[in-house]
Each structure stands twice: as C-alpha cells, then as structure tokens.
Amino acid sequence: MHGVEFEAGTVFAGYRIDRLLGRGGMGTVYLAAHPRLPRRVALKLLNRELSSDHEVRGRFEREADVSAHLDHPAIVSVLDRGVEDGLMWISMQYVDGTDASVFRREPLNPARAVSIIAQTAEALDYAHDRGVLHRDVKPANILLAPTRSGDRAVLTDFGIARLRGDARQLTRTGAFLATLAYASPEQLSGAPVDHRSDQYSLACTLFTLLTGESPFPADNPGAVVAAHLTKPVPRASAVINALPSAIDGVIARAMAKDPAERFDSCEEFARAAMAALTVANVERPGVEFGGAASGFAEALRPSAQAPANFEASASNPTLVSSPSSYSAPRPVTHDGGRRVPLGREQAEQRSQRAVSSRWRVLAVSLLVLAMVAGVGVVGVGAIYWKFLRPNRVPPPPTWGAHGSVAAGFTDLIPSGPTGRGWRGASCSATPSLVVLPGDPAPLRQITCTDADGLVAWYTEFPNAADADAYLLRHTTEDSTRELHHTSLAAYRPRDPAAPFTLAARERGNVFSEDSVVEVAWPGRSFEETRDNWWQLAPF
C-alpha cells in the first residue's frame, strides 16, 4: 500500500482525523483535531514503506528539528512529533487556505504577487540569519491564507533544509529533491550553496506568479537544467505585456548565474521588485495594478526601458538597476555601493576573460547528451563548471567544513574567517586538536580572540552525548539563564589549573546541540567571566 490511509474519525497518536489534505512521494498530510486543545492541526505521516530508509527518515526528522527552532509568523510552526504503530509523524500549524501553485497558468496581479514574495523573503532572511537554507523554495511551498488586508503567506516544507556548511547528506544518492523548475545553477551543478540560492528560487517563483509559467518551461529535465545553467533570464514583460520592463532587470539580477551578482538578501530583492512596480506607476500616473493581467495589458506597457539607475527616495529606499539592452546588458562595477558602467578598456578585459562561444556550444551539447544518457542532474555539473562558467573574482573565504560550528553561534562567530565576531573578535579554524586520554574526540573547532585578550573555543563533537560527557568529566554546572526557547548553562572547571575559565552549553538549540564553548580570560575569575561575558553573550 502506498502511503497511509485513514478514514475520517480515526484516532491516531491522540489526534482525530478529519480529512485528507494532500499526498506526496514521502508522506501523507491530514487535517486533524488536537487531542487536548480546541484547534486543528496538519498531521504529516511518513509513508510506511519509507520508514526503513535512513536518508528519508533523516529528512523527515530534520524538517521537525529545523522548523521547531524557527519562530517566525511566516514560517509554519511544528507543534509535536513522534512514532505511533511504526509510523513517524509530525503535527504542524494548519494554514486554512491554499498554496501559491494554484496560480499556475493564471498570472497574478503584480502587486499581489510581489506582496506574497515580500512576506516569503522576510521568512527566508530570518532563516538565513540563523544559518538555515531552505533549498526548495517554490510556489507549492508557500501557503496562502486569506485575511482582511490580503494574502498571508507562510513558508513550509523544510524537509531538505540544512545548515550552511553542514555536509551531512539528506538527499537520496543520485537524486535531486529540489524541484528543477526553481533550482539554482549551483544546486544543479553540485557546487556549494548559500542564502543566495534560495533567492534565485524565490525569483523563479515571482516569475511564475507574474506570468503563470516557470522561467524555463520544458518537458525534458535535461533542457531545464541546461536552461538554468546557460540561458539568459527570460523577460516577464515579454510574456505579460502589462508588466513594467523594470521588473525584468530585478528578476534578472536575482537569477544571475553567478551568486555574487545577486542581491545581498531576499528582502532587498523584494524591495527592488516593489520599486519596479512604483516606476511603472510614476511613468503612467493614474494607472494602478488593480485588475487581472488582461485588464491592464496595453495601458501599462512602457514606451521605453526603465532608466539604468532609479534613484532611491524616502518612499522607495532601494536602487533598481535595469539593463539598457536586456539581451546584452552593459557591464557594471561597484563604486562604494553605487553601480556604475565599466569603461571600454575594462569591458574588453572582462570580455577577454570570458569562455569562447565555441566551447559554450560544445558544453551545452554535452549537457543535453549527458542527461539523455542518464548521467544525472548533479553529474552534469562538471561540464558546466569546466566549460561554461566564466572567470570571476573569487568569493570571500568561508568556513568550509567548519561552517557547521559557525552556524550554531551566528551572533558570536562571523560569517567568514575575514570578518569580526562579537566584541570585535578575530576568529579562525583551529588547525589541530589535542584530545586528552578518555575524552570524546571532537570533530572541529573555531577559536576567537577579542581585544581584551579573551579567548573562546567553539568545539563541535560528533553528538550531544559526547558534548555532555566532556563537560561531566571536566566541569560542574554553576548557573543557568533562560533564552528564547532555549537555556544556557555556565560550567565551572573542576581543575583550578584548567586552561579555560568558564564553559558554556546551550540546550534546546538544534544548531549548537553538539557543541561546547570554553572561555579563557587571563586575570579574570570564573565569577567575573560569568558576569561580564557569559551573562551578556548573544547566544
């Protein structure tokens, strides 16, 4: 039997089943009544035949772990989870409405579409600030509930989300769980991804909401992959004449093949999209985006492209850069945050560094042939990175394998080794670790030193039990302070001659549950370190 079949009125794990909400490849979702509260929940059950698949179970568990620690009104809340009769289940907030995929082939009013994207962008930036990448942003994962003021958008399905720098594989070997129509080039090529990958997918979603179709519609998966990797971003205004041309430049930037050329955040992208609609209203005063796509077609068709630089104003605090020729945008560079055109000599130098078109044609052919031959989505990435990807300035250094450590302490450790942490601390990956006999072996460590000479070691162990075992052997618990949904404990070293003054451990945080923080503050006692560092530290 595929999936789980429950009749209305069935009681499972204390929840009374009301009706089926949906069914997917991994599980089944029911509307159910909470066993103790007068509320309805979405009860998600993992298909029984997949319960023995460790990778699928890991994805299902990760969805609960990640979502439970993201407390945001635009992210679906996880209420509880468990195992009943051999079935894994999660109870989640029920959003009484639909999802954005219902607008497929039905262009939305532009203002409504951008409002949905803006709410989702805020949720994504919130997750990104806490080290979580969604990795499967698409219309079907944006739930919409009607309110008096319009749509309330809620982001769901963190099943393949992961922490930045987390190398644990939660997708099937050789498979690609993110929907191809909305996947970023770096996801398709198997390259490292960061928050800008979610921005690319969000831009694809905006294109779909505005036009009713995905940016690169095709029946052949190989053609979709090749389009994401090599084809220019399509113009939404070419599909829906009523759309202002300024929106094309915004989407093109958010969907740039090179992540470094995208917006710094999803919210910045959303603000730029809003400003693009404002440009159209300024150019055509008195005309509003109030009707269906067919109702404002020719009236809003701009007579010329939007200006290359739309200056920010108090009501539109953003800069929208729109290419003067969409098919051949003028090269630009940055001057103190201002985008300015490159000179002819600079442009020629950049052009000389580009890969020749002959190799590009060959590479695209290889991509399609590889897909037909069954190489797989991720496997074709080598062709792209070898032949198609243009030379560019290397991105700022990241933590690499130590990213999982930094992700657990985002307000204490900078996003990369060249940044500054809390109290202006400089941080670096510890090159080698010394393990005392009988101690659990740690995986990795980041060391930070601030201007007062305080040294903090952030050490990640294989699991939470090893972290507890280390603390039990070397410390005694002294104090606890409550944080938002978590608690932070301070530990006093058992040995007065220990190399650390104080140790700290946050409980209830899935991102740092395997880590221990040790602090050495020369000339300061445990009490001084506790009162002047531990009590104030932004865990």
10 Å Cβ neighbour count for 438?
7
Q: Is the pLDDT of residue 444 over 80?
A: yes
pLDDT at 359: 46
Contact between 430 and 445 under an 8 Å Cβ cutoff? The reply is yes
Please list, in sequence order, all residues whose beta carbon lies within 8 angstroms of the beta carbon of residue 311, skipping any fewer than 6 positions away.
319
3-class DSSP state for residue 120? helix
- Looking at the structure, tell me whether residues 81 and 117 fall in a common domain: no
Which residue in 232, 421, 249 sits closest to 327, CA to CA?
232
- Looking at the structure, tell me whether residues 111 and 212 fall in a common domain: yes
Enclosing domain of residue 29: 11-93
pLDDT at 370: 52
* DSSP per residue, 64-110: HHHHHT---TTBPPEEEEEEETTEEEEEEE---SEEGGGGTTSPPPH
Say which amino acid occupies 220. Answer: N
10 Å Cβ neighbour count for 89?
24
Query: Does an H or E element contain 515, and which?
Result: strand 515-520
> Which tokens belong to 334?
């940055």
pLDDT at 234: 95
Say which amino acid occupies 117. Answer: I
Contact between 93 and 185 under an 8 Å Cβ cutoff? The reply is no
Q: Which of 136, 166, 466, 514 is catalytic?
A: 136
Confidence of residue 251 (pLDDT cuts 50, 70, 90): very high
Q: How many domains does the chain have?
A: 3
pLDDT at 87: 87
pLDDT, tens digit, 9 for 90 and up, residues 224-249: 888 999 999 999 999 999 999 899 99
Residue 437 within a domain: yes
Q: What phi and psi, each to the nearest 5 degrees, are found at residue 197? A: -65, -45
Residue 69 within a domain: yes
Residue 227 within a domain: yes
Lowest mean pLDDT among 77-81, 278-282, 405-409: 278-282
pLDDT at 211: 95
Read off the pTM. 0.55
Q: Is the pLDDT of residue 35 over 70?
A: yes
10 Å Cβ neighbour count for 531?
14
Residue 389 within a domain: no
Question: What's the rounded Cα separation, in Å, for the pair 289 and 280?
Answer: 9
- Looking at the structure, tell me whether residues 294 and 321 fall in a common domain: yes
Residue matched to tokens 């929106």? 247
Question: What's the rounded Cα separation, in Å, for the pair 13 and 370?
Answer: 47
Residue 374 within a domain: no
Over range 105-110, report the average pLDDT.
Answer: 90
Q: Is the pLDDT of residue 305 over 90?
A: no
pLDDT at 382: 47
- Looking at the structure, tell me whether residues 262 and 330 fall in a common domain: yes
- Cross-strand pairs, 144: 98, 153
pLDDT at 332: 39
Q: Is 508 left (phi over 0), alpha (psi -120 to 50) or beta?
A: left
- Looking at the structure, tell me whether residues 320 and 441 fall in a common domain: no
pLDDT, tens digit, 9 for 90 and up, residues 125-176: 999 998 888 888 999 899 999 888 889 999 988 755 443 444 333 333 333 4
- Looking at the structure, tell me whether residues 64 and 128 fall in a common domain: no
Over range 466-492, report the average pLDDT.
Answer: 93
- Looking at the structure, tell me whether residues 156 and 42 fall in a common domain: no
- Looking at the structure, tell me whether residues 130 and 42 fall in a common domain: no
pLDDT, tens digit, 9 for 90 and up, residues 257-282: 999 999 999 999 999 999 998 765 54
Q: Which of 93, 112, 129 is the last residue of a domain?
A: 93
Residue 450 within a domain: yes
Question: What's the rounded Cα separation, in Å, for the pair 126 and 410?
Answer: 12
Contact between 446 and 458 under an 8 Å Cβ cutoff? The reply is yes
Strands of 156-245, DSSP E: 162-163
- Looking at the structure, tell me whether residues 215 and 245 fall in a common domain: yes
Q: Is the pLDDT of residue 405 over 80?
A: yes
Chain centroid to Cα 89, Å, comes to 24
136 is catalytic: yes
- Looking at the structure, tell me whether residues 80 and 126 fall in a common domain: no
Q: Which of 58, 93, 128 is the last residue of a domain?
A: 93
- Looking at the structure, tell me whether residues 31 and 140 fall in a common domain: no
Contact between 44 and 89 under an 8 Å Cβ cutoff? The reply is yes
Over range 422-440, report the average pLDDT.
Answer: 88
Contact between 125 and 196 under an 8 Å Cβ cutoff? The reply is no
Lowest mean pLDDT among 115-129, 342-356, 447-461: 342-356
Q: Which of 73, 93, 113 is the last residue of a domain?
A: 93
pLDDT at 476: 96
CATH of the domain at 55: 3.30.200.20
Which residue in 147, 137, 140, 157 sits closest to 112, CA to CA?
147
Q: Is the pLDDT of residue 426 over 60?
A: yes
Question: What's the rounded Cα separation, in Å, for the pair 47 and 41?
Answer: 19
Q: What is the mean pLDDT of the chain?
A: 77
Which residue in 362, 387, 370 sits closest to 222, CA to CA?
370
> Which tokens belong to 123?
């949720």
Residue 527 within a domain: yes
Residue 372 within a domain: no
CATH of the domain at 102: 1.10.510.10
- Looking at the structure, tell me whether residues 44 and 111 fall in a common domain: no
- Distance linking the first and last C-alpha atoms of the chain: 46
Question: CA geometry: angle at 131 spanning 537 and 169, to 5°?
Answer: 135
